[in-house]
Amino acid sequence: MMDYADVRQRLIHQSSILNENLSPLFNKLVEYNAETDDQSDTRCDLCTSWDLADDGVTYTFHLANNAKWWDGVPVTADDVVFMFESIAAPDQFEILEGRSTSSSILTGLYYEAGNAQALDTNTVEVVIKFPSGSFLASLAVETVLVQPKHTVIDQGILQGGRNMDALNGSGPFKFVENLKVTLTARNCCVYPDEAVLIKEQLKKNLGWDIEIEVLEAGAGFDAYWAGDYQFMIQASTLNNTSPDAVHASWVLGTLPQWVGGGRGKFFTVEGVDELFEQQMREPNQEKRKALVNQIEDTLYNGASASAVIWWTMRHQPVDNRIQNYHFTDNGMTWEHVWCDPAC
């Protein structure tokens, strides 16, 4: 397990880990199409279509008129506007005041608070700062889940990791209590100890009955080749591999904020801020590549806060009975997978 999330976090947007692990319970405005092998294919999730105006910065999203939250309340344009605002400027909402702003590392590059409006119940207009082909990609990652405004603001019920019973999603999956599961851990490193912690937490929070099976590496591979599992994922990856997303971590990420002295204070290598802004706004691909190379040289030669190797690794062994599952670096879609014959 490489993921962690503080249960005190008050909104799913506050943690990319919460987003990853709770994303099947919620929906995004748009999503990566995991039903094809084209890893750049973006499609609607809560929307049915979108339009881009001739100015290159005004997007109009048309929402599905039959989407509902679990409590039966329709998903509306106000919820989508709330999503943008709670990411970009959470302090405007008393219940979210003081929350971390690190989740704006992607969407906040293009969206400034106050620039989304509900044109009607099912139509949202969003104006971004400058034309960018990466804006839609930033909305498709797991950090941009649409939240129920009436639950968070009107009822004061936060959607985070503190109280799983209080979650009010729109997605197709819910946590199941009293589930019986066998958790297999490799007999190496800290995996068996982590399995014990996972078991205790899932028992406490979800009432799951978990049996731990520790296997040597060879036995684990034998079980894999025999298909003796339902689903397992070992992954470490970027959600979005555009230069904006990669280098935003050096400018707006959690680590520069820690090193910089706390919320809203960022330490960056001298010169990186300016180069980063230039490459985001540069429409010429070759010139943009040159600016990205300058960023890399500056980081390499400067006193950076940390060293990060930007490579992508994903191992996703999937039971061959699970149908319509497609590998993607950028996201996973669970609504349209099924098990045949029944797992």
Under a CB-based contact definition with an 8 Å cutoff, are residues 203 and 210 in contact? yes
311 domain residue, yes or no: no
Bridge partners (DSSP) listed for residue 44:
30
> Higher pLDDT residue, 120 or 96?
120
Q: Is the pLDDT of residue 124 over 60?
A: yes
pLDDT tens for 139-174 read: 987 778 899 999 999 999 988 767 778 899 998 888
Mark whether 156 and 292 lie in a shared domain: no
340 domain residue, yes or no: no
Long-range contacts of 336-340 (CB under 8 A, 24+ apart): 336/35, 339/230
234 domain residue, yes or no: no
pLDDT value at residue 225: 72
Mark whether 187 and 251 lie in a shared domain: no
The CA distance from 93 to 269, in Å, is: 32
pLDDT value at residue 315: 47
pLDDT tens for 39-55 read: 678 899 999 999 999 99
320 domain residue, yes or no: no
pLDDT tens for 186-226 read: 888 888 998 898 888 888 877 888 999 998 988 877 877 77
* Residue range of the domain that includes 188: 176-229
307 domain residue, yes or no: no
DSSP per-residue codes, 70-83:
TTSPBP-HHHHHHH
Mark whether 289 and 224 lie in a shared domain: no
Mark whether 154 and 181 lie in a shared domain: no
> 262 pLDDT band (50/70/90 cuts)?
low
pLDDT value at residue 310: 46
Mark whether 52 and 143 lie in a shared domain: yes
The CA distance from 261 to 268, in Å, is: 12
Widest Cα–Cα separation across the chain: 59
- Calculate the average pLDDT of the chain: 79
pTM attached to this predicted model: 0.76
Q: Is the pLDDT of residue 242 over 70?
A: yes
The CA distance from 50 to 60, in Å, is: 5
Tally of domains within the chain? 3
Of 142, 166, 190, which residue constitutes the final position of a domain? 166
* Contacts with 342 (C-beta within 8 Å, 6 or more apart), sequence order: none
pLDDT value at residue 259: 65
80 domain residue, yes or no: yes
Over residues 304-317, the mean pLDDT reads 50
Mark whether 27 and 91 lie in a shared domain: yes
pLDDT value at residue 319: 63
Mark whether 62 and 122 lie in a shared domain: yes
222 domain residue, yes or no: yes
33 domain residue, yes or no: yes
